Every structure is written in structure tokens, then in C-alpha cells.
């Protein structure tokens, strides 16, 4: 879709997940009347991914976390297609779609989330021997598998594989399963093992936040869940996870053949095929390279946000672990991108820097663990974690609030601004001259 010569500049948002939808709303508000905003997704709907673990134990129906996007985008005056992209052509300022057509852009915002690298471990994932909660349709299949499992209870293996960067949902799911099995009165028949590439429980790809090590170890201990850290899974056979436990020196210390009747591990992520291997745009795993303003250093009219952004690991660990990109951190990227594109439209250089603050709630059904990391990458100004029943209530509140925000097409209502101000949690860093 080329642009007519006298048309407004076009800002194209690629991907309509947690980051892309909010980005479209916020960019549209920041550039109202001065640019055309369009969204390319590969789905008609927005799905609230953080509730997927609840879908897998039927605490939520998929329908409850779905928002059809076309009507909201139309109401907001944002162009929308769900055809999906096959390739970004940054040198030609266009994105090629699955139907063979192309959309030209003046600015591109990439928010395509992860491609799930299940294929890096034989037998892994929903096409192999384990279930997944990464996508809502995966979680719906996991719910069927869980119901069948409950009729014939056996051991459970849950966790995060080598190279994973998303650990909160792994703990969350292990503890949700424990709660649900107790509710179904079959927990006593289900030995559970948490298998993780993290060097210690509660590392979370962040070298811990506050006392996440103590809090999460204690949760696992109290609920009789054994664990293997520094774990590298070599393969999944039907009903058996083959795991190497690695020492500090990287050598294999012990091997475990863990039987299971139900298993979910978070996989490693990589960039989607439409951007993979583009010199100057992506790193070797297909994540988008971005400077502190979220702008690509080579293709200066391309910004990126969310899980698709390249962030180096915190430091070497015996088994590779990545840095998580959590919801609030992504929202801070969204706000910076919206302000920076608006500045460029006015002929100024981008100068907003996202705070990358992390506020995370991991719910266990009857309690949970919360942490605030400001900034997400240490050393930090705020490094706090806590636990209790309030986390479950807060997470349900957050789910309702975020889905409403997507349904209404608002990026940050006034009361959110006020609450964040009260808590002293900022989306943007205070910029200095050097940041410009």
C-alpha cells in the first residue's frame, strides 16, 4: 500500500500484543492530526498473555482475555490489518505482508514479541511431549491435557529451559498447579520438580530482586516442590525429561531422567522470521537492536519495543539465561517511543529514555510474590520483593484493568498516571543533555 504524495507521514506498528496495541494508542495520541497510524498484526484479536497460566487450569476461559482489535482501532482512527508480515525491508521503508502486498512507512515500530524456540530441544513443546502457556491457544490445549492428567495423576516437571528469559510465569505455573492439585485433592499423588536454567532459585534472569531467592525457595519448599538449577534439557521423550545439571565450571555435574505425566517449560525466545538476519537491524538471534531511545542505530526510522528488543544478558551464568522483558518495562518503552517519534515529527532529535522499571506480580492462586526493580537491570535504586494473598488480588485487578485499557483504546488513563506518581514509579528517565 504506497502512500499518496500529499499524505501525512505514516507510522506503522508491527505486532499487536501487549506492547504493540498500547503503542498504537499512545503514538496516535502523541501525533494526532500530524501522522497516520497503522497496525499490522497476524491475529484479529489481542490476548492478555499474563493470564495464560490461569487458562491452563481453567481459572479463566480464553474468551475472557480476548479483545477483538478491528473495532477499537477503527474507533481510534488507526488503520488495522491482521494479514501478518512476512518480511521487513528497511532499506525500502516497507513491510511485506502474507498476501504478497506491501505497506510503505515513514516510521516503523517493531513490537512482534518472541518466536518460541521449541525446536532447539528435541521433543519440546506442544508439537512434542510438553505443553505451553506462551500463547492462549497453547494454554487452552494445556487445559485439556491437564484435565486428562488429573484422571491419571503422575509426576509433574515445570520450569524454564536453557536460554529462557521469562521465569516469572514458570514459578507462577508451578505454584498454580500445586494450588489446583490441592483443590482437586490429588496433590499427594503428584511429585513435582522445578527445572530451571537459572543459577539459583529466584534469579529470574535479573540476579534476583529483593529477596526473591529466599521467597521463592521457601514457597517451593513449603509446597514440596523439588528443584534442579543450572539445568540444561537435552531432550524430552514421551513422559521423560532428560536434564543435565551443570556445575560452576560449565561441566556436567549430574544427569537426571525425570519422569512426568504433565510438563511445561518456558522455551528460549528469538526474533520472528520477518526480521531475522537483517544486517544492522537484528542481532544473531533475531532480536532488534535499539539504542537508549529504542531507536535502531542503523535504520533510524525504526523503533522497537517489548520482547523483540535485544537486551544483553546480565552476566555469564553456567547455563545461558536471558533478561526478562516484563509488562511495565514494555510500557515504559512504549511511552519513550511515542514521545520520540512525536519529537522527530517536529524536527527534533529523540531524547526520551525509558526507565525500564519492572513491577511484577506472580500469582499462585492463594497468594503470590511481587517485586519492584528500579531499574530492572542492577545496580538498582529500588530492589524490593514481598509476598502474600494481596498479590493474587492485585493480579486479578491488573488483568481487568489492562484488558479494559485495550478495549477502550486508552494507553494511560488519568488514574493510572496518579497511582504511578504516588508510588514514585516512572516510565521515562529524567533526561540530561547527554541523553539527547
Contact residues: ligand FAD, CB under 6 A: 14-20, 40-43, 49-50, 52, 84-85, 111-113, 133-134, 166, 168-169, 272, 274, 306-307, 326-327, 330, 360
Question: What's the CA gap between 275 and 89, in Å, rounded?
Answer: 9
Question: Residue 193 pairs with which residues in a beta bridge?
Answer: 157, 226
User: How many Cβ atoms are within 10 Å of 397's Cβ, its own excluded?
Assistant: 11
Peptide bond connecting 359 to the previous residue in cis, omega within 30 degrees of 0: no
State the nearest-atom distance from the C-beta of 252 to ligand FAD, in Å. 29
Grid cell of 319 as nine digits:
547455563
Radius of gyration in angstroms for the set of CA atoms belonging to the chain, rounded to a whole number? 22
Nearer residue to ligand FAD within complex by CB, 231 or 370: 370
For residues 113 and 15, the answer to whether their CB atoms sit within 8 Å is: yes
Grid cell of 264 as nine digits:
511445561
What is the residue whose three cell numbers read 532428560? 242
State the nearest-atom distance from the C-beta of 5 to ligand FAD, in Å. 27
Question: Residue 83 pairs with which residues in a beta bridge?
Answer: none
Nearer residue to ligand FAD within complex by CB, 98 or 429: 98
**Cα end-to-end span (Å), the chain:** 34
Nearer residue to ligand FAD within complex by CB, 17 or 163: 17
Question: What's the CA gap between 88 and 96, in Å, rounded?
Answer: 6
Nearer residue to ligand FAD within complex by CB, 246 or 358: 358
Nearer residue to ligand FAD within complex by CB, 246 or 362: 362
State the nearest-atom distance from the C-beta of 135 to ligand FAD, in Å. 8
Closest-CA residue to 304 (of 372, 354, 377, 373): 354
Nearer residue to ligand FAD within complex by CB, 178 or 244: 178
For residues 178 and 189, the answer to whether their CB atoms sit within 8 Å is: no
Q: Which residue is nearest to ligand FAD (CB)?
A: 17
User: Is residue 78 left, alpha or beta, with left meaning phi > 0 and alpha meaning psi from -120 to 50?
Assistant: beta
State the nearest-atom distance from the C-beta of 342 to ligand FAD, in Å. 20
State the nearest-atom distance from the C-beta of 249 to ligand FAD, in Å. 31
Residues in contact with 137: Cβ distance below 8 Å, sequence separation at least 6, in sequence order? 62
Grid cell of 150 as nine digits:
488429573
CA angle 377, 295, 93 (to 5 degrees): 150
Q: Edge-to-edge strands of the sheet including 107-110?
A: 79-81, 36-40, 10-14, 107-110, 302-304
- Residues with a known catalytic role: 166, 360
Classify 1 as helix, strand or coil: coil
State the nearest-atom distance from the C-beta of 185 to ligand FAD, in Å. 27
Question: What's the CA gap between 266 and 277, in Å, rounded?
Answer: 24
State the nearest-atom distance from the C-beta of 97 to ligand FAD, in Å. 8
Nearer residue to ligand FAD within complex by CB, 30 or 69: 69
Amino acid at each position: 500500500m504506497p502512500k499518496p504524495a500529499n499524505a501525512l507521514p505514516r507510522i506503522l506498528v508491527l505486532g499487536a500484543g501487549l506492547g504493540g496495541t498500547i503503542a498504537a494508542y499512545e503514538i496516535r495520541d502523541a501525533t494526532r492530526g500530524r501522522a497516520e497510524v497503522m497496525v499490522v498484526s497476524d491475529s484479529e484479536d489481542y490476548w492478555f498473555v499474563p493470564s495464560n497460566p490461569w487458562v491452563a487450569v481453567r481459572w479463566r476461559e480464553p474468551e475472557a482475555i480476548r479483545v477483538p482489535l478491528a473495532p477499537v482501532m477503527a474507533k481510534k482512527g488507526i488503520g488495522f490489518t491482521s494479514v501478518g508480515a512476512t518480511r521487513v525491508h528497511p532499506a525500502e521503508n516497507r513491510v511485506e505482508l502474507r498476501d504478497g502486498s506491501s505497506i510503505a512507512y515513514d516510521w516503523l515500530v517493531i513490537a512482534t514479541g518472541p518466536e518460541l524456540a521449541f525446536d532447539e530441544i528435541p521433543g519440546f513443546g506442544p508439537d512434542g511431549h510438553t505443553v505451553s502457556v506462551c500463547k492462549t491457544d497453547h494454554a487452552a490445549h494445556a487445559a485439556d491435557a491437564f484435565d486428562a492428567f488429573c484422571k491419571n495423576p503422575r509426576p509433574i516437571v515445570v520450569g524454564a529451559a536453557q536460554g529462557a528469559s521469562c521465569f516469572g510465569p514458570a514459578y507462577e505455573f508451578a505454584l498454580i498447579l500445586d494450588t489446583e492439585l490441592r483443590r482437586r485433592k490429588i496433590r499427594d499423588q503428584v511429585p513435582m520438580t522445578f527445572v530451571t536454567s537459572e543459577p539459583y532459585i529466584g534469579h529470574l534472569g535479573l540476579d534476583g530482586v529483593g529477596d526473591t531467592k529466599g521467597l521463592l525457595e521457601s514457597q517451593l519448599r513449603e509446597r514440596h516442590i523439588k528443584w534442579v538449577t543450572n539445568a540444561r534439557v537435552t531432550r524430552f521423550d514421551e513422559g521423560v525429561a532428560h536434564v543435565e545439571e551443570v556445575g560452576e565450571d560449565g561441566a556436567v555435574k549430574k544427569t537426571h531422567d525425570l519422569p512426568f505425566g504433565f510438563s511445561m517449560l518456558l522455551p528460549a525466545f528469538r526474533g520472528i522470521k520477518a526480521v531475522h538476519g537483517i544486517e544492522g537491524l537484528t542481532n544473531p538471534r533475531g532480536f532488534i537492536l535499539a539504542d537508549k531511545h529504542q531507536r535502531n542505530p542503523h535504520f533510524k526510522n525504526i523503533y522497537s519495543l517489548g520482547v523483540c528488543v535485544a537486551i544483553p544478558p546480565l552476566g555469564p551464568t553456567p547455563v545461558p539465561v536471558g533478561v526478562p522483558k516484563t509488562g511495565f518495562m514494555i510500557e515504559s518503552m512504549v511511552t519513550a517511543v511515542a514521545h520520540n517519534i512525536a519529537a522527530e515529527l517536529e524536527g527534533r532529535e529523540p531524547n526520551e529514555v525509558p526507565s525500564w522499571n519492572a513491577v511484577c506480580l506472580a500469582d499462585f492462586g492463594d497468594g503470590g510474590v511481587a517485586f519492584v526493580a528500579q531499574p530492572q537491570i542492577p545496580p538498582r535504586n529500588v530492589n524490593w520483593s514481598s509476598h502474600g494473598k494481596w498479590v493474587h488480588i492485585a493480579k486479578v485487578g491488573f488483568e481487568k484493568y489492562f484488558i479494559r485499557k485495550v478495549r477502550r483504546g486508552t494507553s494511560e488513563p488519568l488514574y493510572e498516571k496518579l497511582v504511578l506518581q504516588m508510588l514514585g514509579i516512572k516510565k521515562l528517565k529524567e533526561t540530561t543533555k547527554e541523553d539527547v
